[in-house]
Structure 1
């Protein structure tokens, strides 16, 4: 079963923000619905390494208060988000998906995590990855097997396996993965998501690594652009950081007529 449509957990981030703005939904209400989905599906999907619903509820309550005052912290205020475990969050162990090493506990959050929190994102927790992020599947010596929400007998792809399962499974609309050779794009393809490996320097990392990128994993192009606009803000820890850009200008209007459009499909990488 894919994501839960027809309920708050299945809404896009852009839909949630619009609903918060007019008081049709609250961040706490949405978080509790997402938590129900997680409770129902997580034993099978195995998307999380660290799940902190108590911390998420506190963040959702703060967001709810900001929306009531008409003062949201940013464009994703109150929206549930997950972050791949190799993107550091202060005080949260980073295992690299490997059972043979002692997890590292960062004292400061990564640029990605900081930008999300500054913008009011409600972080649910850290999603799993295979050992060292070096497999194109959801198999980890520490975490076990992460499964596809569409069919648990199938793989999620990797290495952003937990992020992919969370996105397709309805654990809220916004998820961040990382990619060197396909770790965002493979789960995106196999799970029917909108994903993107950004250009080098578009999303700051700590420490910078020219072959690796962090990027959005969502269920809509507009959500991908929204999340990218947040996590792409520059950070002095990454000397490759690019100046910010208005990603909203690259999106077509919602009323775009797609009839007559041609789509290119690249089948031979040479």
Structure 2
């Protein structure tokens, strides 16, 4: 293991022993990022000079024993949608004016309070409305495991940066799977906590944020910082006293549902199903009772959500000039224009399907303690595609395993559970009861321990 592969825990130990300083670590990371970035285009507003200054300040704090918080000196990226004071938030699209943000969003504020080194933002597609690295504003982001393939999205750059080893911590956002889907396609760990556990601004129905890391431990360590409440998110949960690093769990007798059919959308490919079934057997061997369960999503629910999101998004862009609307990625703009024909009544009916999702998820968790499923139904798809179907008439066929848990506000993760014959990662989704974020992290840690985690990460292509 090289210095650039160190975990947050290992970095803090090295910083404390003075065998490595935050500045030395950052200076080792810089050439690694430089070797990768031309190939995967994960970053926006990358500022190594500012990172060096932050790392020097952190090095001085560690030398004096006056660190600001548990992430002092840890490099971190934030998804471009997460505002940082004084920097524009293009929302992944050429349609938006580049106006500097007036304040740090809650996540950025918590990171600064605890001394983390924010060295870049990460890319996303237009308005975060694709599971793809394709954007009208950013260069095309690619998957480090195979740069001809897509990293997924909408936290595209965050997933690519994590898989490529741009430091141990990257923060994404998730309204239908945008942390978990790209995590699955890039082999990393992605955690979407209970709704409100990590405050976001702007808040929206189903919108969450979460850490994207190479290990469960790194995500858990970040949660103490990320989960501090913020009044700007009206759903922000009260302060917690969790020991986020207490990840031991006894699975004896735990009833875990195995969901292999999402109910609609793309069917899980054979390699994906096989990897998830093999993972479930490991939980069974550890004492859990594996219970086959049916889907919680229906075609009516997914189509209703499609109508609601189209109408909502058309409302967001309707006031733009025609020239600006036309600059939006054609795939997204073509989809959004359908929102002009959705009546108010139809939009409300669409929204009501999110309540049906919540009811279905709640009913399932009356019978089980957790759920395992594929994260993504397919192994991979081309980097240039806007979605796994590449069809704007069928934009959400790939989110059927992930989106219900946003609407039910339940915690869920994606963790690598194997690789396809083509060498691409396969993600296992682990879902827990609402507010029991620790259960999801503990189950994820157990599986990571049994599987050994990913031990051979991709290397930068030879130029």
What TM-score, normalized by structure 2, do the two folds share?
A: 0.54
- Unaligned 5+ runs, structure 2: 250-281, 291-370, 375-399, 405-463
| Contact 1:200-1:210 at 8 Å conserved across structures | no
1:103 corresponds to 2:98:
yes
1:164 and 1:249 mapped to 2: Cα distance?
22
Deviation at 1:246, TM superposition (A): 3.6
Q: 1:187 aligns with which of 169, 182, 199?
A: 182
| Contact 1:96-1:103 at 8 Å conserved across structures | no
2:247 and 2:192 mapped to 1: Cα distance?
20
Deviation at 1:244, TM superposition (A): 2.5
| Contact 2:42-2:158 at 8 Å conserved across structures | yes
Question: What is the aligned residue count?
Answer: 263
Q: 2:140 aligns with which of 136, 145, 156?
A: 145
Q: How does 1:70-109 map to 2 (within 5 A)?
A: 70-109=65-104
2:118 and 2:152 mapped to 1: Cα distance?
23
1:119 corresponds to 2:226:
no
Deviation at 1:250, TM superposition (A): 6.4
Cross-structure match for 1:209? 204
Q: 2:33 aligns with which of 38, 43, 48?
A: 38
1:59 corresponds to 2:166:
no
1:50 corresponds to 2:157:
no
Deviation at 1:55, TM superposition (A): 0.9
Q: 2:166 aligns with which of 163, 167, 171?
A: 171
Deviation at 1:249, TM superposition (A): 5.0
| Contact 1:76-1:119 at 8 Å conserved across structures | yes
User: For the aligned residues, what is the CA RMSD?
Assistant: 2.1
SS in 2 for 1:139: coil
1:23 corresponds to 2:130:
no
| Contact 2:220-2:244 at 8 Å conserved across structures | no
**1:234 and 1:41, CA in 2 relative to 1: closer, same or farther beyond 3 A?**
same
1:225 corresponds to 2:220:
yes
2:31 and 2:189 mapped to 1: Cα distance?
24
Deviation at 1:253, TM superposition (A): 4.8
1:72 and 1:253 mapped to 2: Cα distance?
28
Q: 1:12 aligns with which of 7, 11, 14?
A: 7
| Contact 2:224-2:244 at 8 Å conserved across structures | no
The answer to which of 104-113 and 156-165 deviates more is 104-113
**1:252 and 1:200, CA in 2 relative to 1: closer, same or farther beyond 3 A?**
closer
SS in 2 for 1:195: strand
Deviation at 1:193, TM superposition (A): 0.9
| Contact 1:80-1:122 at 8 Å conserved across structures | yes
SS in 2 for 1:145: coil
1:207 and 1:189 mapped to 2: Cα distance?
26
**1:210 and 1:8, CA in 2 relative to 1: closer, same or farther beyond 3 A?**
same
The answer to which of 244-253 and 11-20 deviates more is 244-253
| Contact 1:225-1:248 at 8 Å conserved across structures | no
| Contact 1:225-1:247 at 8 Å conserved across structures | no
| Contact 2:217-2:245 at 8 Å conserved across structures | no
1:133 corresponds to 2:240:
no
Q: Deviations over 1:185-241 (max 9, x none)?
A: 011111111111111111111232232011100011111011122111011212211
Q: Deviations over 1:82-120 (max 9, x none)?
A: 000100000111111112321232111001001001101
2:244 and 2:160 mapped to 1: Cα distance?
30
| Contact 2:221-2:244 at 8 Å conserved across structures | no
